[in-house]
Amino acid sequence: MTQTAAEREEPVGSPPQDLSGEQLRWMYRRMLLIREFENTAQIRFEAGEIAGFLHLSQGQEAVPVGTCAALREGDTITSTHRGHGDVIAKGCDVKRMFAELYGRTTGYCKGKGGSMHIADFSQGIIGANGIVSGGLPIALGAALSCQMRNTDHVTVCFFGDGATAEGGFHEALNLSTLWQVPLIFVCQNNLYGLSQPWEETAFQCDLPERARTYHMPAECVDGMDVITVYGAVARAVNRARRGEGPSFIEAKTYRFLGHYVGDPATYMDQEEREGWRKRDPIPRLGRQLREWGYLTDEEAAQIRAEVEEELQAGIEFAKSSPKPPAADALSDVYVHFDHHGEPR
């Protein structure tokens, strides 16, 4: 993608009417927290302290933060293998996330899940997912449950562009309008599914158009602009809470790094990457907040210091937490039985 001068310096625009300075500063802080969480995790992984797969989301922070800013307690999300940002945006504590990556008892999944499976059911985070598209039908069911329990809660389903080629994507879209469930599909289109450029994986690459064939409101938004993402999701959430069924949002964004840590990403175009880096959503919001008088340089520095402290404390918490006894591998398979089938 070639960048014009105008795109390099995104226009600041005028402050949104529906967001307070406090909300905007929350967005800024959360995006920074996600970015630095990912950077820290990467360093620790490369130092050999973290095992398994690490799919990082640097560059995509505006999508989960803009989305979750429109949610409230009781709402549910599903996420993906690249889910750190989604779950932090919804409310996960970086301490317990690091503890999970380090395989400790204090981790969200007691060391059983790792990076790809972080979940916190108490906050409506019903699971990241190792299976591309695995979360879509689950989100459908969670939204159905919101409806059947007569709540005004909604479900957000995060998924990548790659998932749109799977059958589960189409089945979930079809059922969601058939049942008119309170579900918001949020596709984080970062232009790649592993090594494959998005445009090379479909003939019809207009995702909102595809969603509209299932008869739901659908739009494509700039996923590098947290305020725009928020606006689109907030509209969709309002519709869903009023019982007007599902919506579809495609947020165009970019994965600044490889598919996972260790992927040299030779298939990505250097110039394209540089172009997207210039559209980094975090400095962009920072500029806007300063311009609108919501953030001083001192406040920005303080937020950064707080975030760094939080992450440092998170790493220390993880490293000083106990490892589960190895035999804990045998627990948590069933509610009513142990793994031999003995009643518990």
Partner 1 sequence: MREITYREALREALREEMERDETVFLMGEDIADPFGSAYKVTLGLSPQFGTERVRQTPISEQGFVGAGVGAAVTGMRPVVEIMYIDFATMAMDQIANQAAKLRYMSGGQAKVPLVIRTQGGPGRSSAAQHAQSLEAWFAHIPGLLVAMPSTPYDAKGLLKTAIRLDDPVVFIEQKLLYNTEGPVPEEEYTLPFGEADVKREGSDCTVVATSMTVLKALKAADILEREGISVEVVDPRTLFPLDIETITASVCKTSRVVVTHEAVERCGFGAEIVAQIAQTAFGYIDAPIQRVCAPSVPPPFAQHMEAFTMIDEHKIADRVRRLVTGEL
Ligand X SMILES: Cc1ncc(C[n+]2csc(CCOP(=O)(O)OP(=O)(O)O)c2C)c(N)n1
Would you tell me which residues interact with ligand X (CB under 6 A)?
Answer: 80-82, 130-132, 160-163, 190, 192-194, 255, 259
Judged by CB under 8 A, the stretch of 159-167, 229-237, 276-284, 291-299 that binds partner 1 is 159-167
Residue span binding partner 1 (CB under 8 A) among the ranges 87-95, 179-187, 248-256, 324-332 = 324-332
Give CA–CA dist 290/268, Å, rounded: 33
Measure the CA–CA gap between 34 and 300, rounded to whole angstroms: 16
Q: How far is the CB of 202 from Mg ion (least distance, A)?
A: 12
> Which residue number is nearest to ligand X in terms of Cβ?
160
CB contact at 8 A, 132 and 161: no
Interface positions, 241-280, toward partner 1 (CB under 8 A): 266-267
The stretch among 177-185, 190-198, 246-254, 303-311 that binds partner 1 (CB under 8 A) is 190-198
Give the CA dihedral 14, 15, 18, 21, nearest 10 degrees: 180
d(CA 258, CA 176) in angstroms, rounded, equals: 33
Determine which residue in the list 327, 335, 343, 344 makes contact with partner 1, applying CB under 8 A: 327
Q: Which stretch binds partner 1 (CB under 8 A): 2-10, 150-158, 180-188, 196-204?
A: 196-204
- Per the structure block, which two tokens stand in for 330? 């045998």
Work out the angle at residue 108's Cα, subtended by the Cα atoms of residues 119 and 72, and round it to the nearest 5 degrees.
Answer: 50
Report what 82 binds from partner 1, Mg ion, ligand X, none; CB cut-off 5-8 Å by kind: ligand X
**3-state SS, residue 216:** coil
Task: Tell me whether residue 161 or residue 280 sits nearer to partner 1 (CB atom).
Answer: 161
**Which parts of 89-128 interact with partner 1 (CB under 8 A)?**
100, 103-104, 109, 111-114, 116-117
- Quick one: residue 227, left, alpha or beta (phi over 0 = left, psi -120 to 50 = alpha)? alpha
| Smallest separation, CB 326 to partner 1 (Å) | 4
Contact 126, 92 (CB under 8 A): no
Residues contacting 291, CB < 8 A, separation 6+: 12
Tell me the closest approach of the beta carbon of residue 51 to partner 1, in angstroms.
Answer: 4
Residue window 125-164: x/- pattern of binding to Mg ion, with contact defined by CB under 5 A: -----------------------------------xxx--
Distance, in Å, from the CA atom of 5 to the CA atom of 7, rounded to the nearest integer, reads 5
**Nearest-approach distance from CB 66 to partner 1, in angstroms:** 25
Out of ligand X, partner 1, Mg ion, none, what residue 324 binds, judged by CB under 5 to 8 A for its kind, is partner 1
| Cα–Cα distances in angstroms (integers) from residue 167 to residues 137, 170, 180, 188, in the given order | 10, 5, 20, 18
Tokens at 223, concatenated? 């996923």
CB 174 within 8 Å of CB 158: no
Q: Which is nearer to partner 1, 69 or 315 (CB)?
A: 315
Provide, rounded to whole angstroms, the least separation between the CB of residue 7 and partner 1. 28
Contact by Cβ (8 Å): 47, 60 = no
Smallest Cα–Cα separation from 75: which of 188, 186, 222? 186
The footprint of Mg ion (CB under 5 A) covers 160-162, 190, 193
The footprint of partner 1 (CB under 8 A) covers 51-53, 100, 103-104, 109, 111-114, 116-117, 129-134, 162-163, 165-167, 193-196, 200-202, 266-267, 323-324, 326-330, 333, 339-340
